[in-house]
């Protein structure tokens, strides 16, 4: 069988959630973001480790329905709100909470009011504080809030940072000021019970004074860094995903031989080259530059079978060479003693185990860990440990 796998470490997910819990005040609740199938991990595999979260955040109603069908009974928040009046009605049935970021959603909310005991009576009111993606402007939001509160809704004011990963960026202070000023105005003029939520992962780490009533961690739960220049390891986050495959062929090639599509890689010396059963069809990025590497762990032959000493496992860092294909990549095995077909190759996993982190490979692909995690496909087998 072709060997390409995604191993999910439940203990790491629990650990990362606990890292969030440690950073926030006791009264602050956690909306764990599980959009895009839990950042590519598979939400059904992640739910058991997220039981301590107060609610789960998704991008669309289909994702919410899936989570309900998996038995999640606590809150679900549609972070882009509903996309039709029909969906608004269905989201009430499913006891979801919605963001309201636009007038058309206010209209639907006014036309159909959830019962007073329904979770859907709480609305997340989106304020544009400067990201300029979604949300009401500060000058219009008081009127919107008043309409919703008068109709019987409870509100959570929410907004999103544009640059939370760079704490010194001047937009952060601006956004925080607009958010807190607006919150004060709403509490003074509309409803003193209005709650607030501002921080994603980077905000949780960089702006502890802004945790308010709800935080919304995403990427940090999965053990990839939300910050530029600070690794997940330094933040004491553990990678949840290990992306691995195995060696399916080994060849000696001569100096001057080229490898793969476009003959892009040319050996400058005699080399040992390995082919690994993984490619962009599994989610390994085709666009990696020459800096991408994998960890190869040769199978240790048990020569002294009477020995009770555990074998020490040595692994080797091997560069990815040539173009990434749909199903295969080539690697340089020259430095690996006795590589064998079938031995394990880790594409990204745990830097504590000398494996590349997803963030390191994301660097080689000129993107973020977020994108690589979301883009793993359904083809690799998923194993939960
Ligand atoms: C995705 C998302 C988050 C989580 O962001 P991370 O950077 O992954 O922590 C938080 N809030 C909103 C509105 C989001 O869309």
Mean pLDDT to the nearest integer, 325-337: 96
Model confidence pLDDT, tens digit, residues 172-203? 999 999 999 999 999 999 999 999 999 999 99
So what's the pLDDT on residue 176?
97
Pocket lining: 160 vs ligand 1, CB cutoff 6 Å = yes
pLDDT at 313: 77
Find the catalytic residue in 112, 177, 261, 301: 261
Q: Is the pLDDT of residue 304 over 60?
A: no
Does the CB atom of residue 127 touch ligand 1 within 6 A?
no
Q: Check whether 218 has a pLDDT greater than 90.
A: yes
Q: What is the Å distance from ligand 1's center to 279 Cα?
A: 28
pLDDT for 301 equals 63
Average pLDDT over residues 238-244: 98
Q: Which of 162-171, 230-239, 301-310 has the lowest mean pLDDT?
A: 301-310
d(CA 123, CA 149): 10
Structural contact between residues 107 and 80, judged by C-beta atoms closer than 8 angstroms: no
* Residue 1: pLDDT band with limits 50, 70, 90: confident
pLDDT, average across residues 365-380:
96
Instruction: Categorize the per-residue pLDDT at 310 as very low, low, confident or very high, splitting at 50, 70 and 90.
Output: low
pLDDT value at 309 more than 70: no
Read off the pLDDT of each residue in 77-83 and give the average, rounded to a whole number. 97
Taking the C-alpha atoms of residue 182 and residue 136, their distance in angstroms, rounded to an integer, is 11
Rounded-to-integer distance, Cα 17 and Cα 46, Å:
11
CA of 6 to the centre of ligand 1 (A): 23
Instruction: Name the residue of 35, 55, 79 to mutate for ligand 1: max ligand atoms within 8 A of Cβ.
Output: 79
The finding on whether 216 has its CB within 6 A of some atom of ligand 1 is yes
| Per-residue confidence (pLDDT) for residue 299, from 0 to 100 | 79
316 is catalytic: no
Could you tell me if the CB of 223 is within 6 A of ligand 1? no
Ligand 1 atom at minimal distance to the Cα of residue 33: 4
Catalytic residue check, 261: yes
Closest C-alpha to ligand 1, atom 3: 200
* Residue 376 Cβ contacting ligand 1 at under 6 Å: no
* Residue 314, pLDDT score: 87
Q: Please tell me the pTM assigned to this model.
A: 0.94
- Is the per-residue pLDDT at 48 higher than 70? yes
Mutate which of 53, 165, 200 to test ligand 1's pocket (most atoms within 8 Å of Cβ)? 200
């Amino acid at each position: 069988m072709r060997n390409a796998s995604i191993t999910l470490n439940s203990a790491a997910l629990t650990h990362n959630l606990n890292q969030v819990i440690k950073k926030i005040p006791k009264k602050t609740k956690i909306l764990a973001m599980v959009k895009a199938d839990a950042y590519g991990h598979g939400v059904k595999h992640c739910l058991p480790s997220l039981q301590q979260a107060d609610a789960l955040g998704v991008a669309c109603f289909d994702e919410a329905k899936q989570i309900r069908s998996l038995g999640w009974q606590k809150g679900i928040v549609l972070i882009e709100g509903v996309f039709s009046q029909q969906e608004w009605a269905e989201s009430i049935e499913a006891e979801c909470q919605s963001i309201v970021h636009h007038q058309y959603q206010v209209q639907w909310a006014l036309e159909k009011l959830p019962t007073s005991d329904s979770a859907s009576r709480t609305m997340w009111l989106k304020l544009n504080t400067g990201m300029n993606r979604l949300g009401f402007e500060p000058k219009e939001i008081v009127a919107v809030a008043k309409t919703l509160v008068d109709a019987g809704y409870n509100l959570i004011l929410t907004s999103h940072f544009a640059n939370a990963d760079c704490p010194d960026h001047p937009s952060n202070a601006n956004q925080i000021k607009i958010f807190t000023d607006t919150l004060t105005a709403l509490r003074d003029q509309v409803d003193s019970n209005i709650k607030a939520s501002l921080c994603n992962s980077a905000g949780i780490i960089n702006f502890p004074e802004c945790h308010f009533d709800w935080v919304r961690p995403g990427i940090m739960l999965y053990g990839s860094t939300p910050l530029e220049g600070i690794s997940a390891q330094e933040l004491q986050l553990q990678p949840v995903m290990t992306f691995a495959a195995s060696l399916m062929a080994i060849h000696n090639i001569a100096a001057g031989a080229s490898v793969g599509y476009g003959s892009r890689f040319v050996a400058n010396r005699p080399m040992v080259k390995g082919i690994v059963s993984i490619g962009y069809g599994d989610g390994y990025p085709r666009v990696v530059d020459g800096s991408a590497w994998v960890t190869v762990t040769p199978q240790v032959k048990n020569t002294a079978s009477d020995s009770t000493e555990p074998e020490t496992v040595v692994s080797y860092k091997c560069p990815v060479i040539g173009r990434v294909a749909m199903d295969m990549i080539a690697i340089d095995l020259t430095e690996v003693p006795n590589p064998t077909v079938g031995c394990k190759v880790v594409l990204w996993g745990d830097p504590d185990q000398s494996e590349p982190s997803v963030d390191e490979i994301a660097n080689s692909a000129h993107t973020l860990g977020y994108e690589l995690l979301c883009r793993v496909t359904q083809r690799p087998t998923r194993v939960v440990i």
